[in-house]
């Protein structure tokens, strides 16, 4: 307070001054006291700020020390974060369901096992212990991973609850779990080529999972419905498996399609795979032979050749073509293997499956007209369906007279089975082509199509297909009450220097019911072998046609097709089953 003394010293009374006595100091006035109080508070605040700054400096120094030590540890020990990035989806991936709401693919939360190798006491001991509860575990790989100085390694993904509990019960240090979404396919192999599969990040890789990936990832959790009917799919699959086994075929294909809407109700490709374990399947098993493979389909193409003849006016009902002798063209000789050796009408060319008669029609129409018709039927392009797994046809390098003749009966042009099914659907649909689709069509919804054949031409071809089942090579496809129409096709597979007589593609394209065409059924067997029941023949009339009939009998009630019993049809069916079939080994070109 000394520095304030002069102020106090000036404040003395008059009496003191007159007496010559030392001045008496008075108390500081009230405003001075307030001034002194403010100065004390300011000093206290400054001291507090200094203390806080000191504490902050100490904290920052400590933090930087920790970060520096952590950086050194990461440089020495390796990555501390997860080995694989985990991307959080905006919402759950939607389910895939069939047209009736049956779940084909869904997403479940599962547990995945990982380890921090720096916390594992003994890598070999830990790996061996885990193998006791996870039998499929690669002990050598896990031992090697646990011996590193990394901070994170995956041990096994997507454990079942029982496996997780078993691992947890081991009580091994350094192990932990993380929840992960996993795509699950309840139907396993059934419709695996249609459904497809996704990767660990739930991104569609094949099938509908890939085709409709955007809709499934929309994040609203709503299911995406397919046109497939799993009841129909089951029966087609079962019949084809039995046929493959009976005739020791390499592969088989089955397609069921609604001719008016283009909806694919069933698509079977055998052999197949378990969609839950696609990595374990062979590449050939993952091949969708209905869309991703192409074949020379043989005499099924005669239906398109007859349509060509009718459309161009070259072939008229009752008009005949001379099939009494083999046809020589371009250094090749074309034979009829169940030759009639006479002039044949258009109907006889079709029902007796005459290569010579078919070639004569196509040659007279010319390659341009033939190519134009096949293009309108979408047979010169990949099948127009949502799946990415579609193959373009194999076309001839040049389209001259020889190619025109051979293509007329299904040789020299390889197409996918689905493309053929869609072309037959156009015949059944009054000449209107509707693109095949895996998306269901709502009741009453109008589906746009393209008129590719004159309705009268389409009806005439359909009539001839009915004759094939009644009196020709397709008699074993008949199903009483459903009046099936169809066409057999037996093609030799290409080989070095020509075609192999012992390696056949046998197929049958069916339409039912004939009186009110609603569905197409296509069956194809790759390299079937004859047996005692087929008199040793592996041709379509003995192998593919009966399978198609069996499928129709099974699925027609599911599809709501009314059955009309006809005793005469049943009697004719019994006679056909007990008598040898005129269908003989496949036609071929002789050089």
Q: What's the CATH number where 501 sits?
A: 3.40.710.10
| Neighbouring-strand partners of residue 486 | 510
Highest mean pLDDT among 74-83, 271-280, 343-352: 271-280
Tell me: do 354 and 405 sit in the same domain.
yes
Catalytic entry in 299, 353, 354, 359: 299
DSSP 108: E
What is the share, in percent, of the chain residues with pLDDT greater than 70?
Answer: 80
User: Three-class SS of residue 148?
Assistant: coil
Q: How confident is the model at residue 581 (pLDDT cuts 50, 70, 90)?
A: low
Alpha carbon distance 508, 530 (integer Å): 16
Tens of pLDDT, residues 196-236: 999 988 999 999 999 999 999 887 778 999 999 999 999 99
CA dihedral sign of residues 496, 498, 503, 509: positive
Alpha carbon distance 564, 294 (integer Å): 37
Give residue 89's pLDDT: 44
* Per-chain mean pLDDT for the chain: 85
Alpha carbon distance 13, 33 (integer Å): 21
| Neighbouring-strand partners of residue 254 | 268, 523
Give residue 572's pLDDT: 58
| Neighbouring-strand partners of residue 512 | 519
Tell me: do 203 and 295 sit in the same domain.
no
48 sits in the region (left: phi over 0; alpha: psi -120 to 50; else beta) called alpha
Tell me: do 216 and 296 sit in the same domain.
no
For residue 313, tell me if it sits in a domain: yes
Alpha carbon distance 579, 9 (integer Å): 146
Strands 197-198 and 103-115: unpaired
For residue 247, tell me if it sits in a domain: yes
Which residue range(s) make up the domain with 279? 234-590
Range name among 7-11, 169-173, 228-232, 557-561 with the lowest pLDDT average? 7-11
Tell me: do 503 and 385 sit in the same domain.
yes
Tell me: do 252 and 209 sit in the same domain.
no
Longest dimension (CA), the chain: 168
Q: Cβ neighbours of residue 173 under 8 Å, at least 6 residues apart? A: 119, 120, 121
Structure tokens at 358: 């078919």
| Neighbouring-strand partners of residue 110 | 180
Alpha carbon distance 366, 402 (integer Å): 11
Tell me: do 313 and 427 sit in the same domain.
yes
Residue 142 has pLDDT above 60, yes or no: yes
Highest mean pLDDT among 219-233, 248-262, 308-322: 248-262
Structure tokens at 353: 């499956």
How many domains is the chain built from?
2
Give residue 398's pLDDT: 94
For residue 90, tell me if it sits in a domain: no
Q: How confident is the model at residue 40 (pLDDT cuts 50, 70, 90)?
A: low
Tell me: do 205 and 240 sit in the same domain.
no
Structure tokens at 580: 């040898």
Q: Between the CA of residue 205 and those of 194, 211, 415, 432, 518, what are the distances in Å?
A: 12, 9, 24, 33, 33
The owner of tokens 């060319």 is 349
Q: How many CB atoms lie within 10 A of CB 291?
A: 27
Where would I find the beta strands (DSSP E) of 207-298?
224-225, 251-258, 264-270
Tell me: do 154 and 289 sit in the same domain.
no
Tell me: do 212 and 284 sit in the same domain.
no
For residue 61, tell me if it sits in a domain: no
Average pLDDT over residues 366-384: 97
Q: What share of the chain is helix, strand, coil (3-state, %, to 5)?
A: 40, 20, 40
Tell me: do 145 and 252 sit in the same domain.
no
Tens of pLDDT, residues 466-493: 999 998 999 999 999 999 999 999 999 9
Count CA atoms within 13 Å of residue 518 on its CB side: 13
For residue 62, tell me if it sits in a domain: no
Highest mean pLDDT among 295-304, 497-506, 578-587: 295-304
- Of how many residues is the chain composed? 591
Q: Between the CA of residue 523 and those of 225, 345, 487, 520, what are the distances in Å?
A: 25, 28, 11, 10
The more confident residue out of 37 and 104 is 104
Tell me: do 216 and 336 sit in the same domain.
no
Q: What's the CATH number where 180 sits?
A: 3.90.1310.10
Active site residue 112: no
Q: Describe the strand order of the beta sheet including 327-329 as a list of residue ranges.
A: 327-329, 332-334, 589-590
| Neighbouring-strand partners of residue 322 | 343
Count CA atoms within 13 Å of residue 155 on its CB side: 33
Instruction: Point out the domain boundary residue: 175, 207, 226.
Output: 226
Phi first, then psi, for residue 114 (nearest 5°) are -135, 170
Phi first, then psi, for residue 189 (nearest 5°) are -80, -30
Tell me: do 427 and 493 sit in the same domain.
yes
Alpha carbon distance 589, 591 (integer Å): 6
């Amino acid at each position: 307070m000394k520095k304030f003394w002069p102020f106090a010293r000036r404040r003395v009374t008059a009496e003191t001054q007159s007496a010559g006595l030392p001045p008496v100091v008075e108390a500081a006035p009230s405003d001075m006291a307030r001034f002194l109080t403010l100065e004390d508070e300011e000093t206290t605040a400054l001291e507090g700020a200094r203390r806080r700054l000191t504490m902050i400096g100490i904290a920052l120094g400590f933090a930087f020390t920790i970060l520096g030590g952590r950086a050194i540890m990461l440089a020495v020990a390796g990555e501390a974060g997860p080995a694989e990035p985990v991307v959080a989806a905006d919402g759950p991936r939607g389910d895939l369901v069939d047209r009736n709401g049956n779940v084909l693919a869904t997403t479940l939360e599962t547990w995945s096992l990982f380890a921090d190798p720096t916390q594992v006491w003994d890598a070999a001991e830990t790996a061996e212990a885990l193998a006791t509860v996870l039998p499929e575990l690669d002990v050598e790989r896990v031992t090697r991973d646990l011996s590193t100085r990394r901070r994170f390694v995956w041990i096994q993904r997507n454990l079942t609850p029982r496996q997780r509990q078993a691992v947890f019960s081991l009580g091994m240090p350094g192990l932990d779990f993380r929840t992960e979404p996993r795509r699950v396919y309840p139907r396993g192999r059934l419709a695996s080529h249609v459904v497809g599969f996704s990767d660990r990040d739930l991104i569609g890789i094949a099938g509908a999972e890939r085709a409709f990936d955007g809709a499934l990832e929309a994040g609203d959790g709503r299911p995406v419905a397919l046109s497939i009917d799993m009841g129909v799919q089951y029966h087609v699959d079962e019949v084809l498996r039995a046929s493959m086994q009976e005739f020791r075929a390499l592969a088989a294909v089955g397609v069921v399609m609604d001719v008016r809407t283009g909806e694919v109700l069933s698509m079977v490709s055998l052999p197949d795979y378990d969609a839950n374990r696609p990595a374990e399947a062979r590449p050939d098993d993952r091949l969708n032979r209905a869309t991703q493979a192409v074949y020379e389909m043989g005499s099924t193409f005669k239906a398109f050749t007859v349509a060509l003849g009718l459309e161009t006016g070259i072939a008229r009902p009752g008009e005949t073509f001379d099939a009494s002798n083999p046809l020589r063209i371009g250094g090749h000789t074309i034979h009829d293997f169940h030759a009639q050796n006479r002039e044949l009408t258009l109907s006889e060319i079709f029902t007796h499956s005459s290569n010579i008669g078919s070639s004569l029609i196509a040659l007279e129409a010319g390659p341009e007209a033939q190519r134009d018709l096949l293009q309108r039927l979408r047979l010169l392009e990949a099948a127009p369906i949502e799946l990415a797994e579609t193959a373009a046809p194999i076309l001839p390098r040049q389209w001259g007279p020889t190619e025109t003749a051979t293509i007329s009966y299904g040789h020299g042009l390889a197409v996918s089975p689905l493309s053929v099914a869609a072309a037959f659907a156009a015949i059944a649909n009054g000449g209107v082509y509707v693109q095949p689709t895996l998306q269901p069509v709502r009741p009453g919804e109008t589906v746009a199509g393209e008129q590719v054949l004159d309705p009268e031409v389409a009806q005439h071809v359909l009539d001839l297909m009915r004759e094939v089942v009644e009196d020709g090579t397709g008699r074993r496809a008949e199903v009483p009450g459903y009046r099936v129409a169809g066409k057999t096709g037996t093609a030799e597979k290409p080989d070095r220097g020509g075609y192999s007589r012992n390696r056949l593609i046998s197929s049958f394209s069916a339409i039912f019911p004939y009186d009110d065409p609603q569905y197409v059924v296509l069956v194809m067997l790759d390299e079937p072998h004859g047996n005692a029941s087929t008199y040793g023949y592996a041709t379509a009339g003995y192998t593919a046609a009966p399978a198609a009939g069996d499928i129709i009998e099974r699925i027609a009630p599911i599809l709501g097709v009314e059955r009309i019993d006809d005793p005469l049809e049943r009697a004719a069916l019994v006679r056909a089953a007990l008598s040898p079939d005129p269908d003989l080994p496949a036609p071929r070109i002789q050089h």
